[in-house]
Amino acid sequence: MAGDGEYERDRNYLTTRITADGRDGFPVEPGRYRLVIARACPWANRAAIVRRLVGLEDVLSMGIAGPVHDERSWSFHLDPDGRDPVLGIERLQEAFFRRDPGYARGITVPAIVDVPTGAVVTNDFARITLDLGSQWTAHQREGAPELYPEKWRDEIDDVAEKVYRDVNNGVYKCGFASSQEAYDKAYRRLWDRLEWLEERLGNRRYLVGDTITEADVRLFTTLVRFDAVYHGHFKCNRRKLTELPALWGYARDLFQTPGFGDTIDFEQIKRHYYVVHRDINPTGIVPLGPDPRNWLSAHGREELGGRPFGDGTPPGPPPPSERVPPLGTG
């Protein structure tokens, strides 16, 4: 937290990369690594979506931490005996300590763990999704989309940086501000950017080009949590997502696209934010609403054209062990 009450995210991550040529000592190998996520976390949600879109389920296993954690780390309290079935650990913290016994930074998801050693390789969330799309191509499914096409990279990077600064991280700057001035500043930047996005998406189906790209993945994970959490819990309450026609239609379009909505568990999302953030919600009461079934309503965005997967194809259904509960059953 800055001296003026502004929330500052710690971005000091383990930046070791898993690459096709193994330049950092960790070559891409089917079955060697385990992606650890939490359904609740928007940053981890990105990695789960990209893994689904490019079809890496059979070569990169996924562990799912539960929605509630303490100051030590995310834990595997949803798994039998409270342990990840592949890594055999109760807390993600153990994998970070195997990498560095004196590790003193944040224990964050997503993280990719080297299964033979049980040590975290990387928790650099921004790089993880780019590398899943570019370094694992030899093992991607047939028809995997290109999420970071060369001809659009400069625009994708520009849009993604604006979205990160003002929206992805902006909601946290509102929620964790400790002064009125810091909150007011973050709130205005958030809504200025949301209004910019509302205008941008008024006549185009996707953020960049005419296909789904990395930029859409990054925006979606904040939008899908907006009304359920950020609007009230983080005081981002000028309007609800459902009151922004273009963004609401865009978010539903993505939600109904294979690989997006089938990674979302609203009950885990709400349980994490409302239970863990006791400084914001001291009672720990988790709201019952909003009703998530409106995410399946018609959006009409097909009329704007675009090809969701470009020259590729949609992914198949998720593996049975990774399926989320149907909407409205929580």
Q: What is the pLDDT of residues 143-183, one digit of tens each?
A: 999 999 999 999 999 999 999 999 999 999 999 999 999 99
Measure CA of the first residue to CA of the last residue in the chain; give whole Å.
35
Question: Please, which contacts does 283-292 make with residues 24 or more away whose CB atoms are closer than 8 Å?
Answer: 287/232, 290/227, 290/228, 291/328, 292/228, 292/266, 292/327, 292/328
Q: Are 280 and 233 in contact (CB under 8 A)?
A: yes
Residues marked active site are found at 41, 172
How do 111-114 and 33-38 pair as beta strands? antiparallel
- pLDDT on residue 175: 98
Write the class of the CATH domain 150-322.
mainly alpha
Instruction: Output the pTM of the full model.
Output: 0.97
- pLDDT on residue 2: 57
CA distance 248 to 254: 10
- pLDDT on residue 129: 98
- pLDDT on residue 12: 87
- How many residues in total does the chain contain? 330
CA distance 282 to 63: 30
What residue spans in the chain does CATH classification 1.20.1050.10 cover?
Answer: 150-322
- pLDDT on residue 329: 67
Q: How many CB atoms lie within 10 A of CB 71?
A: 5
Q: Rounded mean pLDDT of the chain?
A: 96
How far from 16 is each of 13, 26, 100, 157, CA to CA, in Å? 9, 8, 13, 21
CA distance 116 to 2: 40
Burial of 150 (0-12, 13-18, 19+ CB in 10 A): exposed
| Structural element, H or E, at residue 54 | helix 42-54
Q: The domain at 33-139 falls in which architecture?
A: 3-Layer(aba) Sandwich (3.40)
Among 193, 313, 327, 199, smallest CA distance to 255 is for 327
Per-residue tens of pLDDT for the chain, all 330 residues: 556 889 988 888 999 999 999 999 999 999 999 999 999 999 999 999 999 999 999 999 999 999 998 888 999 999 999 999 999 999 999 999 999 999 999 999 999 999 999 999 999 999 999 999 999 999 999 999 999 999 999 999 999 999 999 999 999 999 999 999 999 999 999 999 999 999 999 999 999 999 999 999 999 999 999 999 999 999 999 999 999 999 999 999 999 999 999 999 999 999 999 999 999 999 999 999 999 999 999 999 999 999 999 999 999 999 999 999 999 765
What residue spans in the chain does CATH classification 3.40.30.10 cover?
Answer: 33-139
In 3-state terms, what secondary structure has residue 179? coil
